[in-house]
């Protein structure tokens, strides 16, 4: 894909701000939080800890989203940097609940973040009556302050209780799961369209148990915004990455993009278009205890629908006619 116009200095700063925000909150607020316990301001962290105890289950009970946070102007600068857009192929009825497969993971999942966790691309106007939730690692919701930030954007835990709650309480909920997970991030390099999906069937079983419609999505350009250094499976660095994942739940990826000066290397992503195409929902029956054969059947139908979605739109968004979508 060709580069779009060089982003403004302000947009570049906003892009650096977002992926580093989790680290900033963790490494600055957490030590400060502990420090306050040993000062005259100790009632403040104690009150928050009491609140945290009483509020512990909220991430698994629908969360606590904030329209104000989702409409921060910073998200529009992130949107315009690439730019990021969303394409609807079919309406989603508010009378149903939906389980959406988000593909591919990419490195930082810019497309899903901007389209489903903010209103920068106008999700609520595109899909009126639908409330989006993007699922992420459960342990994020155990970190003080980080949990509040995530819930405010409509992010939910990827735990089974959290997803069950959203799919069984009211209608019009859309729960997005990055099915390929962190394993797919390690394979995120430009010009690749390989998804980890062949054996990922738990989301289909969950959809069947709740009678939720499956929605395939594919984000074109997600793997084009960074280059990644890949290591051989026998190398020490790959073993370190595997160890890192066992401890923290995600891989330590070595990647690079551009800097503030065009043509030089840095940590900013390449300013290349990202388009999330939301496919037609696949209706599923509600079966409390679906058999493996039933799960396999609808998993195959989902993969077929995702494959058709990719083929129908690939030439419009930077892929060649011969580009194939592969499932691992």
pLDDT, tens only, 196-251: 999 999 999 999 999 999 999 999 999 999 998 888 888 999 898 889 888 877 77
Task: Tell me how far CA of residue 39 lies from CA of 28, 45, 158, 220, 233, in angstroms.
Answer: 17, 10, 37, 51, 49
Tell me the pLDDT of the chain averaged across its residues: 89
pTM: 0.89
Cα first-last separation, the chain:
25
DSSP 116: H
Other C-beta atoms lying within 10 Å of the C-beta of residue 326: 11
Task: Tell me how far CA of residue 84 lies from CA of 57, 147, 159, in angstroms.
Answer: 33, 25, 28
Kindly give the pairing relationship between strand 84-88 and strand 274-278.
parallel
> Per-residue pLDDT tens for 231-240?
888 899 989 8
HSE on the CB side for 312, CA within 13 Å?
14
> Per-residue pLDDT tens for 59-86?
999 999 999 999 999 899 899 999 999 9
Backbone angles phi, psi at 64, to 5 degrees: -150, 80
List CB contacts of 322: < 8 A, sequence separation 6 or more: none
Say if residue 172 is exposed, middle or buried (CB neighbours under 10 Å; 0-12, 13-18, 19+). middle
> Per-residue pLDDT tens for 302-313?
999 999 999 999
Residue boundaries of the structural domains of the chain:
9-316
Give ∠ CA 269-270-274 in degrees, rounded to 5: 95
DSSP letters, 130-175, are -EEEEEE-GGGGGSTTHHHHHHHTTEEE-SHHHHHHHHHSSS-EEE
Pick the CATH number of 9-316 from 1.10.12, 1.20.950, 3.40.1130, 3.40.50: 3.40.1130
DSSP 224: G
């Amino acid at each position: 894909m060709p580069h779009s116009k060089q982003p403004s200095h302000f947009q570049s700063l906003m892009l650096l701000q977002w992926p580093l925000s989790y680290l900033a909150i963790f490494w600055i607020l957490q030590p400060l939080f502990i420090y306050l316990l040993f000062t005259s301001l100790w009632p403040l962290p104690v009150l928050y800890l009491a609140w945290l105890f009483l509020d512990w289950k909220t991430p698994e009970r629908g969360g606590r989203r904030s329209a104000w946070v989702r409409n921060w102007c910073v998200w529009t600068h992130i949107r315009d940097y690439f730019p990021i857009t969303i394409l609807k192929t079919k309406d989603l009825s508010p009378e149903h609940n939906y389980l959406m497969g988000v593909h591919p993971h990419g490195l930082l999942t810019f497309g899903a973040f901007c389209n489903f966790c903010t209103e920068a691309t106008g999700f609520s106007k595109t899909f009126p009556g639908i409330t989006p939730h993007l699922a992420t690692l459960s342990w994020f919701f155990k970190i003080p302050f980080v949990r509040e930030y995530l819930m405010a954007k409509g992010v939910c835990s990827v735990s089974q209780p959290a997803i069950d709650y959203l799919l069984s309480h009211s209608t019009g909920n859309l729960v997005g799961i990055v099915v390929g997970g962190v394993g797919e991030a390690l394979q995120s390099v430009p010009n690749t369209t390989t998804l980890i999906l062949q054996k990922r069937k738990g989301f289909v079983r969950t959809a069947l148990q709740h009678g939720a419609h499956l929605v395939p999505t594919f984000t074109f350009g997600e793997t084009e915004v960074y280059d990644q250094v890949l290591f051989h499976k026998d190398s020490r660095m790959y073993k370190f990455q595997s160890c890192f994942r066992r401890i923290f739940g995600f891989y330590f990826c070595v990647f690079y993009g551009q800097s503030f000066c065009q043509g030089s290397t840095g940590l900013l992503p390449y300013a290349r278009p990202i388009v999330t195409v939301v496919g037609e929902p696949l209706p599923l029956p509600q079966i409390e205890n679906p058999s493996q054969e039933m799960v396999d059947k609808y998993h195959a139908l989902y993969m077929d629908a995702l494959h058709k979605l990719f083929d129908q739109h690939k030439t419009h968004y930077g892929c060649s006619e011969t580009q194939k979508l592969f499932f691992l």
